[in-house]
Amino acid sequence: MTPLPIAREAQVAIRSAAESWLAQDPDPTTRAELEALLAAAGEVCAPGEQLAETDAGDRAAAWRELRDRFTARLSFGTAGLRGRQAAGPNRMNRVTVAQAARGLADYLLAQAETTGERPSIAIGYDARINSDVYARDTAELMQAAGVDATLLPRPLPTPVLAFAVRFLDASAGVMVTASHNPKWDNGYKVYLGGADAGSQIVPPADTAIAAAIDRVAQRRRVPDLPRSEDYAIAPESLVDAYVRETAAVFGGGTDGLAPLRVAYTPLHGVGHETFSRVLEACGIPLPAAVPSQVRPDGGFPTVDFPNPEEPGALDLAYATAAEADADLILAHDPDADRLAVAARSGADAEGRPTWRLFGGNEIGRMLGWRAAKAAAAAGAQGSLATSLVSSPALSRVAERYGLGYAETQTGFKWISRAPGILYGYEEALGYLVNPGTVRDKDGVSAALAILELAYAQAAEGRTLIDLDDAFADEFGAFESRQVALRYADPAELPRVMAGLREAAPAAVGTVPVAEFTDFETTEQPANILRLRLADGTRIMIRPSGTEPKIKVYIDANSAEGTAEERRASAAGRADAAAAAMRALLGG
């Protein structure tokens, strides 16, 4: 993005906002960091002068950094807050967290006026830098405001907090985590209890909470907000209950388990302790954990980005798996709400093991098939759910087993609310396998469900790769591709989307477009476009919410020939559509 000039008048306003911030920041680290940035920026320009857009000096860079931090505010939406940790309203820090906590408290108190009952909140946190600090700040501010606060006893996975909202019958929940974001980020995720059953917030709650936070930020200083240390610490029985109810997911039995060697990494996150306890409760042997990644560490010393989808993130897991002669690799992201799975596929010319890393859609459909079989065995009714941009393979499973099927907007805040949900997933490695316990994606219970499938396959001398082939035989082969097109100017994103709406393409490559859908015009509007091609390929187009990118999700399927032939046919269509969309959108 081209740097813009900063006039003297803007500098005066920015410096004033920064000095006001310093006066209320309780954190010596961010105060010192902001003071250093102000010193680097130096004095404001003389009257009538400005910092030129061509100025590449350190002083101009400091002023641009200050402008970015102090002329916008970190927005609170349906994912709560998430951003880089540093001083200023457009960053994550103790001031923005305090304002969010008090604003959320005000919202809960206003909601409670209709019931006359004192509201309550459960608060969890992961092992990221400052997560514990933000969680304690939230507990103190909530308790003093009149909201009974219960803090989880130590850093724990996000699904444990989602469970706690229901277990404690709390009005709401807060989880301090940035999930799989880079190490310098943190976040603040909000859940609602009662009729929302511990799901993440959706409109209009997010808008009302954001307005309450803004009122706090505009009218109150953080040092003046009352605090109380009389909040409760959740009993260990809460974690025990999560372990017990999650262990019940494993339906395969443990007598005479087939040999299955497993390697595991929590990617420096909080998954290992809880996952190990669940495995022990099931009588399942503990996996070989990656030694350097098993302890929680918010510095993430061995990975640049602690996301199991990122290239290189699982390198140490592959090395540990090779040493342990493992058949399967499981990986959680740092707050253990997502799961990555890799199965041993053979060996290379030098005898080293090779691996197939499954995509989210592949694991999602296998777990969906498992859920449908379980429902059929129990004579249960309900629905399978996934997001609009995930593979439509689940619809075939639901149809075959006489179950409902729901496609929701992206995010588990929507998936978890699908009517009669039995199981839900989204392609970004998120799976909800136990909605009676947790109404959010849960990497711990998903790992247990995958182990159930893997052990059942091992008993027959097969692997999850064979199970995926069996899915292709049963329901057809589905192949997914993603295309991400980056634009230098973020303003290009709405122009591209508007252009597609005004003149929908008649064909993608050589394949005619059979149907065009604009989800902005649906009952739950979303900035997503869908193309269905004449050969059955589905293409979803949406702008990224965090980067200047247009994201394209392509799903093709085939039900003709052998599993291998079906997969090859579907892959050919998906690859052709991906190439055509890059050309169409200028990528």
Three-state secondary structure call for residue 508: strand
How far, CA to CA in Å, does 135 sit from each of 93, 140, 275, 461?
Answer: 12, 9, 23, 47
Q: Choosing from 131, 171, 179, 445, which is the catalytic residue?
A: 179
- Is 179 catalytic? The answer is yes
Local structure of 81: helix, strand or coil: strand
Distance from C-alpha of 499 to C-alpha of 502, rounded to nearest angstrom:
5
Residues recorded for the chain: 587
Taking residue 373's Cβ as centre, other Cβ atoms within 10 Å add up to 13
DSSP 296: -
The residue behind tokens 């304002």 is 99
The CA-atom distances, in angstroms, between 128 and each of 117, 266, 297 are 34, 13, 7
For 320-443, list the strands marked E by DSSP: 328-332, 339-347, 353-357, 383-387, 404-408, 421-426, 430-432
* CA 555, 560, 564, 568 torsion-angle sign: negative
- CA distances in angstroms from 136 to 29, 141, 181, listed in the order given: 17, 9, 22
Kindly report the backbone phi and psi dihedral angles of residue 96, in degrees, each rounded to the nearest multiple of 5, phi listed first: -65, -35
The Cα–Cα gap between 444 and 442 comes to 6
Catalytic site residues? 179
